[in-house]
Amino acid sequence: MNPLDALRRGTTPLATPVYPLRATRFIDREYFNIVYRTDPEALRQVVPEPMTVTEPLVRFEVMKMGDVDGYGPYVESGQAIQVSLDGEHGEYLHSMYLNNFAATVSGRELSAYPKALGAPRLHVEEGALVGTLDRGSERIATATMAYKWEPLALDEAAAQITVPTFMVKLVPNVFTQGLSAADLVRTEISDITVKEAWTGPARLQLFEHALVPMADLPVLEVLSASHILTDLTLAPVQSVHDYLHGSGQ
């Protein structure tokens, strides 16, 4: 294998590529979102500059992927914090936990998604939509919502999912133990079809865990909830701030 052939593989190990090097299409991606108010000081401790916290709001999510090119079905859960950057309002992806190794690795390597392995689940039980996240045998989060309680306007549902999203991309330098890149990046979903959308009363519990610190952003008040079914394609990220050189790109 010559060097060019190796580069075309895109991932290691070279003989067994983990994920495809192309845009990924999600069919029947199911969202369970709960927006809640939390401690403003707790947010200031975890949101990196130059982003600012406008309101102390967090969106807890559980996403069930019905069919994903190259990965198959899986489930994901995380927290997104409402922020502002240069007058633009969006969400900072704080944490994401999922039960698919390839999707975890590709999210971290090809983009900047803060993904780690976990055991999320989304199901319907006795008239309630139930989203959970476990780490091993320990419960991290339990979310419930009345199942298909009230219709939610499809354009409002799309607006929830297509807000600008910010993440921090760190690329370690394996030779110096420093960083080759450290950027704040931005992306925004634009290729989306909302099939169904619902809202209703909801509750959320977060539990303490040293390795999955979701409870560091405590639930003070649940403000809204939504259950949305979509088809979409994730967009690539673009750098908006270079931490190593102190400037926007």
Domain ranges of the chain: 23-165+190-234
Q: At residue 117, does pLDDT exceed 90? A: yes
Q: Which CATH superfamily is domain 23-165+190-234 in?
A: Acetoacetate decarboxylase-like (2.40.400.10)
CA distance 72 to 26: 9
What does DSSP assign to residue 215?
A: G
- Residue 76, both tokens: 């994901």
The answer for 87, left when phi > 0, alpha when psi is -120 to 50, beta otherwise, is: left
- Residue 93, both tokens: 């992806």
**Residue pLDDT, tens place only, 195-224:** 999 999 999 999 999 999 999 999 999 999
Strand, helix or coil at 222? strand
Strand, helix or coil at 249? coil
- Residue 249's pLDDT band, with cuts at 50, 70 and 90, is low
Phi first, then psi: what are they for 107, rounded to 5°? -60, -35
Q: At residue 247, does pLDDT exceed 70? A: no
Bridge pairing between strands 179-187 and 150-151? unpaired
**Residue pLDDT, tens place only, 90-105:** 999 999 999 999 999 9
CA distance 60 to 140: 12
Please state, as a whole number, how many other Cβ atoms lie within 10 Å of the Cβ of residue 224.
Answer: 15
The two counts, helices (H) then strands (E), for the chain are 4, 15
pTM above 0.75, yes or no: yes
- Residue 248's pLDDT band, with cuts at 50, 70 and 90, is low
CA distance 79 to 190: 21
Report the chain's mean pLDDT, rounded to a whole number: 94
**CA distances, 60 to each of 14, 123, 186 (Å):** 36, 16, 20
Q: What is the pLDDT of residue 16?
A: 78
Q: At residue 44, does pLDDT exceed 90? A: yes
CA distance 139 to 119: 9
Q: What is the pLDDT of residue 139?
A: 98
Q: What is the pLDDT of residue 18?
A: 86
115 labelled catalytic: yes
Catalytic residue among 115, 148, 169, 195: 115
Q: What is the pLDDT of residue 19?
A: 85
* Nearest Cα residue to 197 out of 246, 142, 151: 151
